Amino acid sequence: MAKYELIATAAFGLESIVAKELKRLGYKDLKVENGKVSYWGDEECICKSNLWLRCADRVFIKLAEFKATSFEDLFQGAKKIEWADYLPEDANFIVNAKSVKSQLFSLSDIQSIVKKSIVEKLKETYDTEWFSESGSVYPILVSILNDTVTISLDTSGDALHRRGYREKGSAAPLKETLAAAMVILSGWRYDRNFIDPFCGSGTIPIEAALIARNIAPGLNRKFACEEWEFIISSLTWKKVRKEAYEAIIYDKEFNIFGYDIDSRIVPIARQNAIKAGVDDCIHFQTQPVTSLNSHKHYGTIVCNPPYGERLNEIKEVEVLYKDMGRVFTKLDTWSYFIITSYDEFEKCFNKKSDKNRKLYNGRIQCYYYQYLGPKPPKRNTKSNS
């Protein structure tokens, strides 16, 4: 099998989690940078990466990297790529572009120059003057940073946070990739209770259930590269999907709870859980955070409460955070993890976090406040003689 240099992109703050996911999949020699993790893999690796990565945004095949300060540099650099190794004659290749701190900044010009370069190169192999572009879609990304051009093939198509289970959401939805990262960072032990008291359309509880059940997050969706028989055999996809279905854990019960004060959103959360195939793992209920309680010990709370982005909401959010502080601290053996962009959270919550981590909810800079509960006593495994 051919080896490819791959790039898994990620939101800032999640790169190390994506690297750990790749290591668990068996891939080594990872290069972790801002917003991405680079590694090498074959066609099966491309399939597994798309199917299994919970916290990555997309998976790309890196085709070239070069300096360009003129459109001629860009044209010639793109033309050096052996495009016929990746694109069949009928390929529908769409060129997207982004440019930061570079002399070439017109995105439409970057796209048209690279498109023209690809056509000229393909003419050399396919001996034709016109390409129908009637076949499968091959999204191409031209990214320019500080005059360094990286040209990549997007194997994912739709971003990986689009799992396929959430058709409807709340007013301020949390991306599935960030929700999964929050669950992973919490270190939740699957034999203990898990609660999201602001569950909205159910994203955090659903991601927790997918993780606990070992369900690959991409099982309910398709990827752009599934149509690329030119590069990846359909038999490889069948093999990887079959292995993913066989890896699902069916014989364990999990105690996952999602609460929300909005009675209109809770039925949507239930429907999303059904579509994700984890409705039997989660109990959803309409309930304000002030009613939160549990007789269980050593559980985990992970939540995304309102942030108060508008001035008229700040007072309400401050009251909410004070209520959270009173309610959560009563669960004195529990650990709780809260993401918010509100700078005065710890003051309102009335407790300093054990750790916090900068994360981005879309373009909103947030902090993930982590309150670590006590470790449970060790079980005495010795029998009395």
- Residue pLDDT, tens place only, 143-194: 999 999 999 999 999 999 999 998 766 666 799 999 999 999 999 999 999 9
Label each residue of 140-193 as H, E or C.
EEEEEECCEEEEEEECCCCCCCCCCCCCCCCCCCCCHHHHHHHHHHHCCCCCCC
Give the number of other CB atoms < 10 A from CB of residue 213.
Answer: 19
Tokens coding 180: 């999964």
- Residue pLDDT, tens place only, 187-219: 999 999 999 999 999 999 999 999 999 999 999
Quote the mean pLDDT of the chain: 95
For residues 266 and 191, membership in a common domain is answered with: yes
Structural domain for 283, as ranges? 176-217+225-371
- Into how many domains does the chain fold? 2
Tokens coding 37: 């993790």
For residues 149 and 180, membership in a common domain is answered with: no
- Residue pLDDT, tens place only, 328-363: 999 999 999 999 999 999 999 999 999 999 999 999
The stretch 290-317 carries a mean pLDDT of 90
Which residue in 226, 176, 228 sits closest to 206, CA to CA? 176
For residues 261 and 181, membership in a common domain is answered with: yes
For residues 82 and 208, membership in a common domain is answered with: no
pLDDT band at 246 (very low <50, low <70, confident <90, very high): very high
* Cβ–Cβ < 8 Å for 82, 64: no
pLDDT, position 381:
54
The CATH number linked to 62 is: 3.30.2130.30
* Plot region of 380 (φ>0 → left; ψ -120 to 50 → alpha; else → beta): beta
For residues 145 and 257, membership in a common domain is answered with: no
One-letter identity of residue 299: G
Which range, of 126-135, 201-210, 375-384, averages the lowest pLDDT? 375-384
For residues 41 and 99, membership in a common domain is answered with: yes
The answer to whether residue 274 scores a pLDDT higher than 60 is yes
For residues 132 and 192, membership in a common domain is answered with: no
For residues 190 and 120, membership in a common domain is answered with: no
One-letter identity of residue 45: C
The answer to whether residue 312 scores a pLDDT higher than 70 is no
pLDDT, position 379:
73
For residues 233 and 325, membership in a common domain is answered with: yes
Which has more pLDDT, 132 or 310?
Answer: 132
For residues 82 and 147, membership in a common domain is answered with: yes
The CATH number linked to 363 is: 3.40.50.150
pLDDT, position 185:
98
Helix (H, G, I), strand (E, B) or coil at 50: helix
For residues 68 and 207, membership in a common domain is answered with: no
Residue 192 domain flag? yes
pLDDT, position 173:
78
pLDDT > 70 in the chain, percent: 96
The stretch 277-296 carries a mean pLDDT of 97
| DSSP conformation letters of 271-286 | HHHHHHT-TTTEEEEE
Residue 363 domain flag? yes
For residues 209 and 126, membership in a common domain is answered with: no
The stretch 27-33 carries a mean pLDDT of 96
